[in-house]
Structure 1
Amino acid sequence: MSNKTAKERLDQVNSHLATGTPKNQSRKRGSRSASALPSDYSDVLGQIATLQGIAATPDTSNRGYVRQKKAGKLWVQERIQQLLDPGSFRSVGSVSGTVKWKQIGDTNEEPIGFVPSNNVQGFGRLRGRKIILTADDFSIRAGHADGASTEKTVYMEKLAIALKLPIVKLVDGSSGGGSVTTIRSWEYSYIPPLPSFQHVVEQLNLGIPNLGAVVGPAIGLGAARVVACHFSVMAGDIGSLFNAGPDVVKNASFEEDLSPADLGGPAVHCTNGTIDNLAADEAGCFEQLRTVLSYLPNCGTMLPPVIQSSDPTDRKSEVLRSIIPRAKNRMYNARKIITEVVDQGSFFEIGPLWGRTAIVGLARLGGKPVGIVSLNCEVNAGALDALGSQKIARMLKFLDIFNIPLVQFVDIPGYAIGTVAERNATMRHGISLATAYYSTTMPVFSVITRRVYGVAGGLMLDCRDPRMRVAWPSGQWGSLPLEGGIEVGHSFELREIERQHGKQKRDERYAELENEYKRLMNPIRTANHFGVEEIIDPAHTRELCCEWVGHVYETLLPQRILERISGKLQPRFT
């Protein structure tokens, strides 16, 4: 803003704040002595209030503000008002920024120009929960370092650890990242520092919720801050994220005419796992942040928050008896199983647009938070690919760090196969998933709904000792599915029959073998040998899951919290 405009705004605010001084009364400020200063420090408080008033009032003539509104984005203070509980925001560093001072005496001065810091930070409440909030103001230097206060950002990151409070980050710009103009103003170049990231990593591993929203272009450091969060969401109408913007990309890689959405919009980063979720707009982002926080404790040495549930824990769901088709190759809606079992309306899916062979999210059973993992037979027949493995592994670490038990619905034919699967390093990521299952320690309850085959099936169900699991009567399991398994196990016999007697005889023998294996794979035979602990009526699944979760919260999690406090148990998210 121009110095003239800033001076006019300062004079206007000061005129409202001044009390008991007639407008026509003149005062020689330069001759004011210390004894003449007001005893209540109203002069200092008045200047603070003036600066705070400027920071909280949009300058509608400022080109950055105009650009913000033309892009369809909320101004930073509007975002704060819409996200937080009404009247709950308390700013920290409210007058930090660049001030131009005018000396009015030997020891006194007054502000004649003020550009606030382009990152607004402080405390607030989300549905009654106290949080720390950081919000970029893209209208001031696009969030770059020459308009930010690095010390304030680092202080707030430290404060989240000291006070054990969740931290919410609204990213719009570079969040104090570099700008070449800094070199000019500082008159030297610098090796890029990252003073806040050691505290971010500590927060992540302490289980202090880090929740981020992309509500504009998240660039460089801004992108890194939101991607590092436990949970992130992007506004579909205005959000984008990239290491460097289109202009820099054009000069470096000669990719021209790229829009922010082309380079790093929702179609890119909400489908590759960089950002967890997509929301229609900023209001949708804010609602997802509120929802996710409602499942999480303030830190890893606390229990997840429990609420009252009106959904009976012994509710039967007879529709589950017929949800798995008798025809083994037919698909079904795995999400329907989840929503039938958990408290009504409580399932919140994380990452629905990427790693789509897997379904993960948060829900409640009897009002108690649980994590959900399921395979999705409607995508790639449920075979677990590289992205699906990455998504589940991240979810396991998320649940472990927040002391949330896992309920998983298992129908897995194995890892994805074929040339695409091999090129995408499916086994490498599959073994990373195995490591996550065996290195985490949160309680796990498994419901086998249909198939369990191969290494992938084994690691999902054998990751805890003793195993807590039940099976539905639709269950089928083994080292390999029959399709292809018979060909491998009886390849010599089948080849010889075809060579000696023709293809028809070979097909007849194949059918005999298939019928024999199907008979032997009756799940009751497995239960006879205690290969599966119990086969249950699917309609009673919710009751059993609620009973297990209730015991976990009553007995196991309190002990786990003590181990976290003592340092005996130290899960890691990073």
Structure 2
Amino acid sequence: MAGDSNTSKDAQNAKANAKDRLSQVSNHLAPPPPPPNTPKRRRRKGSAESDLPADYSDILGQIATLRKIAATPDPNNRGYVRQKQAGKLWVRERVEQLLDPGSFQEVGSVSGTVEWKKTGDVKEEPVDYVPSNNVQGFGRLRGRKIVFTADDFSIRAGHADGALMDKTVYMEKLSIALQIPIVKLVDGSSGGGSVTTIRTTGFSYVPPLPSFTQVVQQLNMGIPNLGAVVGPAIGLGAARVVACHFSVMAADIGSLFNAGPNVVKNATFEEGLSFTDLGGPSMHCTNGTIDNLAPDEAGCFEQMRTVLSYLPDCGTKLPPVIECSDPVDRTSEMLRSIVPRARNRMYNPRKIITEVVDQGSFFEIGSLWGTTAIVGLARFAGRPVGIVSLNCEVNAGALDALGSQKVTRMLKFLDVFNIPLIQFVDVPGYAIGTVAERTATMRHGVTLATTYYSTTMPIFSVIVRRVYGVAGGIMLDCRDPRMRVGWPSGMWGSLPLEGGIEVGHSFELKEIERKQGKEKREERYKELENEYRRLMNPVRTANHFGIEEIIDPAMTRRVCAEWVTHVYESLLPLRIMERVAGKISPAFA
């Protein structure tokens, strides 16, 4: 009986232990109920947050309202009316015309000054909004992704008190980080200063220039910077567009100056100046400040699209190659007679360029300034090249100060974008005379020389006619080994024959004139001239390997295209690797 009693107790203990373990597990899974006398917590009623929509539609609605205001022109706004009366597009119309349809993605779409109306404890709605006077973001030009900034002159004429400098600096940094081109439409001061800022802030300031660090970096990285003057570009706005790799001005509305007519009047006492008088196209498209002139805003946009089509997104990429239907081996018989046998007669050098490159591919840069030189972009077999030619129709092709500056700028441009150069050489030397000396021709000529020798893009030269003096030597001797050919019309030497005979035989000719008269002097001069012309036969130079090869001008396209193809297939890929590795560092700025 005692044994049965112990067994029953053991069973009861085991049952109790099992209940305890079950209770412990239950407490882990769900907390125990509160004691019966503990008061229940009351649920809060009517909190401010509980009244706000769970899907944040209130915030999204505010953004939509601000965007709608920014995107809708106000015909009663004085700035908008002034913009239209001046014949200018509104900033968002410009963006729409510039970019590929549907590609606009705005950055900073609701930045600006907002007046808010309180509608509840934590609720508010915008009742007035003045957008920042710069529209910017992403877009595409003929399929190429870009970032862009566009000034809104209708808001405080683009001055700093209507702008947010952080927006512009951000876009400059974004272009570097993403390594994509940046386009700048300048109309006003692009965030430059206004004296009214002093009243707003209550103090004056030492003027900063926060964005130019990034601008210089972009220029030297080979990130395309393209700028258009689509209104008055003033102060900082002028500096931003002039600093670009390529700039263009709208002839009907564009102007550019350091300060406007009212400031000029008080500083230099020049009164009654219009924007055009002070800095219109006839001023800045002829002195090299702005590269090109377009008839209107649409023309500016088209030129920027065209220039971009030749350029890579950044300097560590190859220039874009397109399909070409123009046969590489196309011959041009008209080139055999384009250079006159009469040495003093001129010819049209642009005809040579357009005849040799892919049909319709030549885009000239700076045609209205530095007119002794012709520079631009073209293609051979769809591959972009730079073009440099001297213009015998202006000052006989002698390189003057502006011509040297123009070629210098083009060489740097090609170097940062990895674009090979084809040059058509007909240079009698540097310009001479008092005008040439007064304009520092040799100073700018030496700068050109250092640029030829410090850049590293491949160069191929076609000697069309004359190569004389220091200028000729610089253009043709800047690469080792030299890549060049001559035409049968080639003439070369240290001095042009016309002046060289006078210098080299000065004593002899003076003595003949003194003893035998002027007529005998002229006879002797003619004998010397004929002798020298016979000795200057280009074949004689080729006999001594002074010129590597003389080609049939009709075959020039084939020869150039073959060289360009080799450069793109073999040399440029190596150049890109060297640039990535830091072995070469082209500099535009």
User: TM-score range, shorter-chain basis?
Assistant: over 0.9
Does residue 1:299 correspond to 2:314, yes or no?
A: yes
Contact 2:83 2:89 in 1 (8 A): yes
8 A Cα contact 2:48 2:121, kept in partner: no
Aligned with residue 439 of structure 1, among 430, 451, 454: 454
Name the SS of the counterpart of 2:529 in structure 1.
helix
- Counterparts of 1:277-296 in structure 2, within 5 Å, are 277-296=292-311
Map of 1:509-520 to 2, 5 A cutoff? 509-520=524-535
**Deviations for 1:143-164, whole angstroms, at most 9, x for unmatched residues?**
0000001011101100000000
Cα distance in structure 1, aligned partners of 2:529 and 2:446 = 31
Deviation at 1:498, TM superposition (A): 1.2
Q: CA deviation at 1:424?
A: 0.5
Q: Tell me the equivalent position of 1:179.
A: 194
Q: Report the equivalent of 1:76.
A: 91
Secondary structure of the residue aligned to 1:275 is coil
In the superposition, the TM-score normalised over structure 2's length comes to: 0.92
Query: Match of 1:217, SS?
Result: strand
Which residue pairs with 2:259 in the alignment? 244
Please, which of 408, 411, 417 is the counterpart of residue 423 of structure 2? 408
Q: By how many angstroms is 1:32 displaced?
A: 7.0
Structure 2 residue aligned with 1:548? 563
Give the deviation of 1:33 after TM superposition.
2.2
Query: 2:273 — aligned with what?
Result: 258
Cα deviations by residue, 1:314-367 (Å, 9 ceiling, x for unpaired)? 000111000000000000000000000000000000000000000000000000
**Structure 1, residues 444-493: CA drift from partner, whole Å, max 9, x if none?**
00000000000000000000000000000000000001111000001011
1:480 and 2:480 are equivalent in the alignment: no
Name which of 156, 163, 168 aligns with 1:148: 163
2:234 alignment partner in structure 1? 219
Partner of 1:8: none
Where 1:552 maps in the other structure, the secondary structure is helix
Q: Give 3-state SS (helix, strand or coil) of 2:116's partner.
A: strand
Partner residue of 1:163?
178
Give the structure 2 partner of residue 347 of structure 1. Answer: 362
1:42 paired residue number? 57
Alpha-carbon deviation of 1:110?
A: 1.6
CA contact (8 A) 1:471 1:532 kept: yes
Q: Structure 2: which amino acid aligns with 1:336? A: K
Establish whether residue 360 from structure 1 lines up as the match of residue 369 from structure 2: no
Residue 504, structure 1, aligned to residue 528, structure 2:
no
CA shift, 1:103, in A, is: 2.1
SS at match of 1:262: helix
Residue equivalent to 1:311: 326
Aligned AA (1:147) = G
Q: Does 1:395 align with 2:410?
A: yes
Q: Tell me the alpha carbon deviations over residues 384-414 of structure 1, each in whole angstroms, 9 at most, x when there is no partner.
A: 1000000000000000000000000000000
SS at 1:68 equivalent: helix
- 8 Å contact kept, 2:357–2:557: yes
Alpha-carbon offset, residue 101 of structure 1 = 1.4
1:104 shift after superposition: 2.3
C-alpha displacement of 1:497: 1.2
Deviating more after overlay: 302-311 vs 32-41:
32-41
Matched residue, 2:130: 115
Does residue 1:203 correspond to 2:218, yes or no?
A: yes
Match of 1:538 in 2: 553
Q: For the residues of structure 2 that align with 1:71 and 1:166, how far apart are their CA atoms?
A: 30
Q: Which amino acid aligns with 2:544?
A: H
Which of 522, 527, 531 in structure 1 is aligned with 2:537? Answer: 522
CA shift digits 1:50-77 (9 cap, x unpaired): 0011111111110000000000000000
Distance 1:64 1:390 in 2: 39
Q: Deviation at 1:107?
A: 2.3
Question: Which runs of 5 or more residues in structure 1 are unaligned?
Answer: 1-30
2:436 to 404, 415, 421: 421
Q: Aligned partners of 2:561 and 2:411: how far apart in 1? A: 20
Separation in structure 2 between the aligned mates of residue 59 and residue 40 of structure 1, nearest angstrom: 32
Secondary structure at the counterpart of residue 307 of structure 1 = coil
TM-score for both structures, normalised by structure 1: 0.94
- State how far apart, in whole Å, the 2-side matches of 1:225 and 1:325 are: 45
For the residue of structure 2 that corresponds to 1:450, the secondary structure is strand
- Within-5 A mapping of 1:23-38: 33-38=48-53
- The SS at the match of 1:203 is helix
1:568 to 579, 583, 587: 583
CA distance in 2, matches of 1:508, 1:93: 80
Alpha carbons 2:425, 2:463 under 8 Å: kept = yes
Alignment partner of 2:478 out of 463, 468, 487 = 463
Farther-moved stretch of structure 1 (67-76 vs 93-102): 93-102
CA separation in 2, counterparts of 1:343 and 1:189? 57
How far apart, CA to CA, are the structure 1 residues paired with 2:517 and 2:304? Answer: 65
What SS does the corresponding residue of 2:54 show, helix, strand or coil? coil
- The 8 Å contact of residues 147 and 181 in structure 2, kept in 1 or not, is answered as yes
Q: How many residue pairs were aligned?
A: 544
Amino acid in the other structure paired with 1:112: V
Give the superposed CA RMSD.
0.7
Amino acid at match of 2:486: A
- Per the TM alignment, residue 133 of structure 1 is displaced from its structure 2 partner at its CA by 0.7
Give CA-to-partner distance per residue, 1:125-177, whole Å, 9 cap, x none: 00000000100000000000000010111011000000001000000000000
Query: In 1, distance between residues paired with 2:523 and 2:334?
Result: 38
Instruction: Tell whether the 8 Å contact from 1:32 to 1:105 is kept in structure 2 after alignment.
Output: no
Q: Which stretch shows the higher mean deviation, 499-508 or 123-132? A: 499-508
SS of residue paired to 1:325: coil
Q: Displacement of 1:499 after TM fit? A: 1.4
Three-state SS of the structure 2 residue aligned to 1:65 is: helix
How many angstroms apart in 2 are the aligned matches of 1:151 and 1:32? 37
The separation in 2 between residues aligned to 1:500 and 1:377, in whole angstroms, is 39
Give the drift of 1:500.
Answer: 1.5
Cα distance in 1 between the residues matched to 2:321 and 2:253: 35
Percent identical pairs in the alignment equals 81
Superposed CA deviations along residues 473-524 of structure 1, whole A, max 9, x for unmatched, are: 0000000011110000010111111112111111111111111000000000
In the other structure, the counterpart of 2:398 is 383
State the distance in 1 between where 2:564 and 2:499 align.
Answer: 39
C-alpha distance in 1 between matches for 2:426 and 2:307: 26
Q: Report the counterpart of residue 77 of structure 2 in structure 1.
A: 62
Matched letter for residue 261 of structure 2:
P
Which letter maps to 1:477?
A: W
Distance 1:149 1:511 in 2: 73
Which residue identity is paired with 1:189?
S
Residue 25 of structure 2 corresponds to none
- Secondary structure at the counterpart of residue 359 of structure 1: strand
Gaps of 5+ in 2: 1-45
Report the Cα distance in structure 1 between the residues aligned to 2:530 and 2:211, rounded to whole angstroms: 63
CA distance in 2, matches of 1:68, 1:235: 15
**Alignment correspondent of 1:131:** 146
Distance 2:537 2:574 in 1: 40
Whole-Å separation in 2 of the counterparts to 1:520 and 1:127: 55
Task: Write the deviation string for residues 7-30 of structure 1: whole angstroms up to 9, x where unpaired.
Answer: xxxxxxxxxxxxxxxxxxxxxxxx
CA distance in 2, matches of 1:324, 1:505: 33
